[in-house]
Amino acid sequence: MRILGIESSCDETAAAVVAAPEGGRWQLLSNIVASQVAIHREWGGVVPELAARQHLRDICGVVERALDEARTTWDDVDAIAVTQGPGLVGSLLVGVSFAKAVGAARGIPVLAVHHLAGHIESLALHNGDLPYPAMVLVVSGGHTSLYHLPAPGVYRLVGRTRDDAAGEAYDKVAKLVGLGYPGGPLVDRRARIGNRQAIAFPVPRLTHDDRAKGPKTHLPEGFEEVLKRSADFSFSGLKTAVRRHVELVTGGGARPLTDTEIDDICASFQRVVIQTLLDRTFRAAEWFDARAVGIAGGVAANSGLRQEAEARGAATGLPVFVPSLALATDNAAMIAAAGLRRWAAGARGDALDFNAEPGLTL
Ligand code: KG4
Ligand code: ZN
């Protein structure tokens, strides 16, 4: 079984081939990512129209390279998995239209995949299957969500951010202290040098009155209220605290921040983010009797988060799984893996009238 994955939900055009030998572990045969960072950097963030046009330019070449590197011809492709959503509609449409067109022309089944299922399955692709039940935190530029996986391929949302995603907070803090774009890796680097205790930024706490917006979480009877409060995240207050701090020390922008000040802000901000993410994740893991913790998504590339998660895992006796750096940020191998998961559960291709869904929930 060989599956071609296609991902175009945001600003990376990606294609990958993954093989699933009968009864064996998934094998990554190729993983091509054409990043648009250089194009969007000039604007300080992703410009949807530019992203869609660039996907259109890149998609054919990226897929051809993924097949070439995997020494795979179209005749060897048993299925195509493509990101259906969530994401930018113009970007998603490029991948979805491409997959449906090739699928129809060559008679290859096409499986629509949720982007976050892809991030979650990057864990199994990199580490082999997790022990279930597992508690998986997906932290990216667009999402901060906790999923309970009672069994392979079953994803139950138990917590999510009420406002900003963690990656978004990283990107905004990077902008506030004058680092470039994308901010996550830059803040990560400075945080390694800075003093984590320098500034006492507030640890986000959600109060009883916080109304849950967004997709409904699936919680066991009776746990609704307490879990809803404690397994959700919030990062906008922390971002505001960083902005106030910067305004205060620079006298409202009268002078630039020194290098040491930037290092300390990054380190102190990151300490709070990591503490918030891991407190919630490990608490939820305990509540759900999880046998493993997984952390996936772009922010899972963060060195501090990986280290601290490892340490908490050792302290609590829960094994912690993270993807490789290449599989943490957006890629198509994880989409292929999520497609394989659906295939293993019996899916043999979706009707080709499915559409890109920018607000798709999981
Ligand atoms: O998963 P991803 O590639 O795209 C989305 O699905 O959103 O995640 C991108 C996010 C960005 O916000 C980026 O700043 C953040 O992941 N990121 C990091 C690191 N590398 C990427 N955040 C913190 N530390 C990093 N090393
Ligand atoms: Zn992503």
ipTM score for this prediction = 0.98
Q: What is the length of the chain? A: 362
Distance 312 CA to ligand 1 centre (A): 22
| Closest C-alpha among 59, 112, 121, 113 to residue 90 | 59
For residue 298, the CA-to-ligand 1 centroid distance in Å is 3
CB contact at 8 A, 178 and 262:
yes
Inform me whether the pLDDT recorded for 17 exceeds 70.
yes
Does 138 carry a binding-site annotation? yes
- What is the pLDDT, as a whole number, of residue 211? 47
Closest CA to 32 of 344, 342, 326, 345: 326
For 147-184, the pLDDT digits (tens) are 999 999 999 999 889 889 999 999 999 999 999 888 99
* Structure-token pair, residue 165: 């995603």
CA distances (Å), origin 181, targets 98, 171, 341: 29, 7, 34
Q: Give the closest residue (by CA) to ligand 1 atom 18.
A: 184
**Mean per-residue pLDDT of the chain:** 92
Q: Is residue 142 lining ligand 1, measured as CB closer than 6 Å?
A: yes
Query: CB of 137 within 8 A of CB of 277?
Result: yes
In this structure, of 17-26, 289-298, 324-333, the range with the lowest mean pLDDT score is: 17-26
- Residue 208 marked as a ligand binder: no
Q: Which atom of ligand 1 is nearest to the CA of 12?
A: 3
Angle at 129 (CA atoms; ends 123, 132), nearest 5 degrees: 100
Rounded Cα gap, residues 84 and 157, in angstroms? 19
| Domains and their CATH numbers in the chain | 2-119+329-344 (3.30.420.40), 132-318 (3.30.420.40)
Rounded-to-integer distance, Cα 49 and Cα 333, Å: 25
Amino acid (one-letter) located at 240? T
With b for 16 or more beta-carbon neighbours within 10 A and e for fewer, the 229-245 pattern comes to bbbbbbbebbbebbeeb
182 CB within 6 A, ligand 1: yes
Cβ pair 26, 18 in contact under 8 A: yes
Instruction: Give the single-character DSSP code of 319.
Output: -
User: 141 CA to middle of ligand 2, Å?
Assistant: 7
Rounded Cα gap, residues 13 and 261, in angstroms: 36
The pLDDT of residue 226? 54
Encoded tokens for 136: 């998986």
- Residue 337 has which token pair? 């893996």
Give nearest CA residue, ligand 1 atom 8. Answer: 298
Q: Establish whether residue 339 lines the binding site of ligand 1, counting it when its CB lies within 6 angstroms of any ligand atom.
A: no
Is 141's C-beta closer than 6 angstroms to any atom of ligand 1?
A: yes
pLDDT in tens, 206-230: 654 444 555 566 666 655 555 555 6
Between the CA of 329 and the centroid of ligand 2 the distance, in Å, is: 6
pTM of the predicted model over 0.90: yes
**What number does the ligand 1 atom closest to the CA of 9 have?**
6
85 is an annotated ligand-binding site residue? no
Percent of the chain topping pLDDT 90: 82
Please, which residues have CB less than 5 A from ligand 2, an ion? 140, 330
Tokens of 64: 């051809």
Tell me which of 202 and 121 has the higher pLDDT.
121
